[in-house]
Amino acid sequence: MEVDKIYPPCQKCSKGVLIPLSDYGREGATIIFKAWVCTNPECCYSLRIDNGEVSIGKVSNHSLK
Ligand SMILES: [Zn+2]
């Protein structure tokens, strides 16, 4: 499977692609595409969606340093 042709390219590093992560809602329903993470470990660009609000970079900030 050619991942880079399925998922959108990372706009930050232009090397990795953004892959979707799923999560589960309060009622057990699967939330598809809850968050997107860059596949480039040097980039760690992340984007997540909480209650309709988009947050950028909050996921990876904790793991730096
Ligand atoms: Zn990236």
30 Cα to the center of ligand 1, angstroms: 26
Q: For 38-54, how does the pLDDT look when each residue is reduced to its tens digit (9 = 90+)?
A: 999 999 899 887 778 88
pLDDT for the residue numbered 65? 47
Angle at Cα 41 formed by Cα 16 and Cα 30, nearest 5°?
75
Note the pTM of the prediction, 2 decimals. 0.63
Phi, psi dihedrals of residue 6, rounded to the nearest 5°: -95, -45
Query: Using one digit for the tens of pLDDT, what is the confidence trace for 7-41?
Result: 889 999 999 999 888 777 778 877 677 888 999 99
> What number of CA atoms fall less than 13 Å from residue 56's CA on the CB side?
6
Contact 12, 21 (CB under 8 A): no
Q: What is the distance in A from the centroid of ligand 1 to the CA of 51?
A: 24
Selected residue with higher pLDDT from 48 and 63: 48
Q: Which domain holds residue 24?
A: 3-61
- Give the total number of structural domains in the chain: 1
